[in-house]
Amino acid sequence: MEEPAWNLLKANLPQHLHSRFVYSKGKVTIRGMAVLNAEKQLDSLIDWLGKMQGALPEAQS
């Protein structure tokens, strides 16, 4: 993923989450996930990815 694409996705996250996500060329690292139990990690990822999905254009048939 290129940085402009990441910036578009990140814009849909709440401001307080921006510092958790660290972009480096080709990957995104989420800081602080290891302190959460597996169920909370999964719930958080589903929530955050859902918010980022709002930045993507709707698929047209």
pLDDT for residue 36: 93
For the chain, how many structural domains are there in total? 1
> What does the angle CA 3 – CA 13 – CA 41 come to, to the nearest 5 degrees?
100
pLDDT in tens, the chain (61 residues): 889 889 999 998 999 999 999 999 989 999 999 999 999 999 999 999 999 988 877 755 5
Residue 28 near residue 21 (C-beta atoms within 8 A): yes
- Specify if 9 maps to a domain: yes
- Is residue 28 assigned to a domain? yes
In a domain, 14, yes or no: yes
Q: Is 29 among the domain residues?
A: yes
Q: What is the pLDDT of residue 30?
A: 93
Give a yes or no: residue 59 inside a domain. Answer: no
Distance CA 18, CA 51 (A): 12
Please state, in angstroms and rounded to a whole number, the distance separating the CA atoms of residues 33 and 49: 14
| Residue 21 in domain | yes
